[in-house]
Amino acid sequence: MSEHRRRPSGRTGPSGSDGVPYGGRAEARRAARAGDGRGRRAADRPRAAAGRSGRAAARRTNAARSGRRLIDYPRAGKRGVRRWLPSWKQVLGTFLLFSGGLLGLFSYAYATTTIPSANPSTQQQSNTYYWSDGSVMATQGSTNRQNVDLAQVPKAVQWDFLAAENATFYSDPGIDTQGMLRAVYHMATGGEVQSGSTITQQFVKNTYLDQSQSVTRKLREIMISLKIGGQMSKQQILQGYLNSCYYGRGAYGIEAAANTYYHVHASQLTVSQGAFLTATVNEPSVMMLADTDPQAKARATARWTYVLQRMAKIHKITDAQEQQYLAAGFPTPKPYTPSAGMSGQTGYLVQTAQKYVEAHTSLTDQQLGHGGYQIYTTFDKKKVKALAASVAAMEKKHLDPKHRSADKDVQVGAASVDPSSGAVVALYGGAGWDKGHWTDNADAKGVPVGSTFKPFDLAAALDHGAVLSPGHSPSPITPDSKFNGDDGITIKNQQGQEMPDSGDPTGLLHQRNDVSTKWGYITLRKAMEQSVNTPYVQLGEYVGYDNVENEALKAGLLRGSLQYDTPGFYIGTSTPSAIRMAGAYATFDDGGVQHEPYSVTKVIADGRQLPGFEAPKGTTAMPAATADTVTDVLQGVVKHGTGTNAQALGRPAAGKTGTTDDYKSAWFIGYTPQLVTSVSMFKEDPKNAGLQSMQGVGGYTKVFGADMPTEIWTGYMTAALNGRPVQQFPPAPQLGQGSDEFGAPSPTPSATASTPSATPTAPSPTPGPCHGKKKDCPSPTPTDTAGTTTGGGSTGGAGDGGLLGGTTGGSTSPTPTPTSSPIGRGRHP
């Protein structure tokens, strides 16, 4: 057993291992007091060190016993303030831990973020319709927006927006932290208001989110902005931004803004104008008043100046250009006018253009209703106004529905066409959509055209001849061919048989004129001038229904508007629209070349021009000699016949009046070398379908096309042709000798009639380069063309007469009600 184990328990020996005498602490204190001061201090030092060492060891022991703390905070072994100050390791660890957490949270948020579908409201667009001069005619839709391709916005104008909003757009990832901090600083210091969002963020907010100012919405905006860069190019984002911004004045998108503020397309904007439009994005409600409110203009000018300065600072314009723009002054916007509605004639114009678009594309009403189409029309703003004004002037002069019941429910339809192209330059559809009149009278079928159909009879006879002798080949016909013009003659067919009519007491078809004048055998020219029916009904039978029908179809009428199986066909039981009749007469005017009437020249959707809207190419419908001969005869109608009221135009004109049974419709269709216009007039009670007699309308006992319709035509054509040079029609061609109907008196020695030949003699045009052309033609000599008969100078004559007399019984077709024309695809103006 060792000495230590045999150590006695007494405490009189040396000190223990902890430096404390075995005798206990009391003895130690007494011993310390017993020593001198120096010895006491010397003895204290080793004991203090031993004490500290002991306490540290105790702490280590306790820590070992209880386990080390995960985070040494408050810091063990430190006292006072140092106990609460973290070590650099703790700071670094905390930073790394926080950064890692944020990175993880960001990664999770980025991975789970999806780009939502675009807000339906941001996709809504309007359809914009333009006049022929490119100015806006109407916008149709609840949202005034027309998206355009970025290529349609000038590069310098694009940089107007980028310079002011996000100069680092093409290099940033979709967000700009510095920009957001800079915006906060500027606002806090009272500087220029800036947006803290990038172009990408604003595009995301406009297109995918709402406009609420919440932290959650802002965080979503940032995440989507970062993610969308992987799915869309910068060009696509900028395009979407420009098309989605609200610019004030009800304009969404840069195309609508360009038109609303400066009446131009986005492609026509200048750098200076673009700088102002940039300003409208920040404060649209203020900037929209920059043309009228001095305070708003001052703010707009300041922002405009800032944008130009930014453009120069980022070197998108030179300093000299900046000074040039500033010197030119602020580009004050045009006066604000709300988007054009559908009042007046606008509704009919839009309706006609829309039908044409649908007829030339696969677009449906529903697709057009979604908006986004820019539709350029042929309609001339001044001519449309002039036509409406002429109708209004006639109504003011002649109609008094408040005091004359006969004047109630009188309606007018009219159309004006360029004969060289077929472009519909003006139309009159009725009182207006805003007046509750929805049917477009200019593009409706259902109003019989009356004697205005006779020129097609004559053209067919000139081209095909007429079977004047049963069993013989067709004989040549000219305007000087004579037919029986007496009232009540019996109509014969090509076999020489009298045509039956169960409604006549004799059982035979007797054609009636409006008056019982004994005309005898008169030329087709005079019968056209005086609108005598009997010669043209008989002529039509001799020429043949198919030939007359085909002549009308080739001239431009539609098969569905032609009436069949009655001799009344030859004098106007058919019901083409005013547009179609103007287009068909344009064939005569253009030397036999037929142009499809058209009303749309261009359609743009999403910056892309749709195909199929080129001007229709003309086709030869009849020989130029035929067309020019008909024109010559129709000039006689104006000079000597029922159309003399049109002489008020004061320039060469050709035309034809037309009136139907019981005066249910009245027409005048006339033309000059530059313009063709048709006017129809009828009466219909909106509550009771069916045409009514116009007897008594305007105080007239009988209403003829020579009266109020011609007055409308003359008033309009005077305004429409104002300032345009007077042009002459080409001279009538010299034709061979024509044949007369059997029974006509023998020709005088000075005008020997030829025996009907076995085949028709084709009309021979006058030699020379002028024939068939309206330009550079010499004026006709005052002397009538050789061999022609001008007839009497009566201004009233027999009038147009009824289509079929009262004794024709069932031969008269029932009068249809005006309705929209069922137009086949590709054949609608």
The confidence band for 788, taking pLDDT boundaries of 50, 70 and 90, is: very low
The pTM assigned to this predicted structure is 0.70
Query: Nearest CA to 779 among 726, 734, 720, 829?
Result: 726
**What average pLDDT score do residues 572-594 get?**
97
Q: Which comes out higher in pLDDT, residue 83 or 358? A: 358
Domains 149-328 and 450-606+615-720+772-820 share a fold: no
**What average pLDDT score do residues 281-291 get?**
88
**What average pLDDT score do residues 757-767 get?**
39
Q: Which residues contact 80 (CB under 8 A, 6 or more apart)?
A: none
The confidence band for 116, taking pLDDT boundaries of 50, 70 and 90, is: low
| Distance in angstroms (rounded) separating the CA atoms of residues 794 and 812 | 29
- Cβ(314)–Cβ(163) below 8 Å: yes
Q: At 460, is the secondary structure helix, strand, or coil?
A: helix
The predicted structure's pLDDT at residue 54? 60
Most confident listed range (61-70, 198-207, 560-569, 618-627): 618-627
| Distance in angstroms (rounded) separating the CA atoms of residues 42 and 46 | 8
* CATH dotted code for 450-606+615-720+772-820: 3.40.710.10
User: Lowest-pLDDT range, 17-26, 128-137, 242-251, 332-341?
Assistant: 17-26
Could you read off the pLDDT of 708-719 as tens digits, one per residue?
Answer: 999 999 999 999
The predicted structure's pLDDT at residue 779? 37
> Exposure pattern of 92-120 as b/e (b: 16+ CB <10 Å)?
eeeeeeeeeeeeeeeeeeeeebeeeeeee
The runs of H, that is alpha helices, within 668-823 are 708-720
CATH number 1.10.10.10 is the correct assignment for the domain at 149-328: no
The number of helix segments (H) and strand segments (E) in the chain equals 24, 21
The runs of H, that is alpha helices, within 314-338 are 319-328
**What average pLDDT score do residues 599-604 get?**
96
Element (H, E) at 681: strand 676-685
Q: Show the tokens assigned to 163.
A: 């310079």
The predicted structure's pLDDT at residue 82? 76
Most confident listed range (399-408, 766-775, 783-792): 399-408
The predicted structure's pLDDT at residue 186? 55
The confidence band for 215, taking pLDDT boundaries of 50, 70 and 90, is: low
Tell me: pLDDT of 188 over 60: no
> In sequence order, what DSSP letters do the residues of 150-163 get, joined into one string?
GGGS-HHHHHHHHH
Tell me: pLDDT of 61 over 60: no
The predicted structure's pLDDT at residue 111? 55
Ordered by start, the domain boundaries in the chain are 149-328, 450-606+615-720+772-820
Could you read off the pLDDT of 547-573 as tens digits, one per residue?
Answer: 999 999 999 999 999 987 788 999 999
Query: Nearest CA to 243 among 123, 335, 136, 119?
Result: 123
The predicted structure's pLDDT at residue 804? 28
**What average pLDDT score do residues 327-340 get?**
86
| Distance in angstroms (rounded) separating the CA atoms of residues 109 and 211 | 22
Rounded to a whole number, what is the largest CA-CA distance in the chain?
184
Tell me: pLDDT of 795 over 50: no
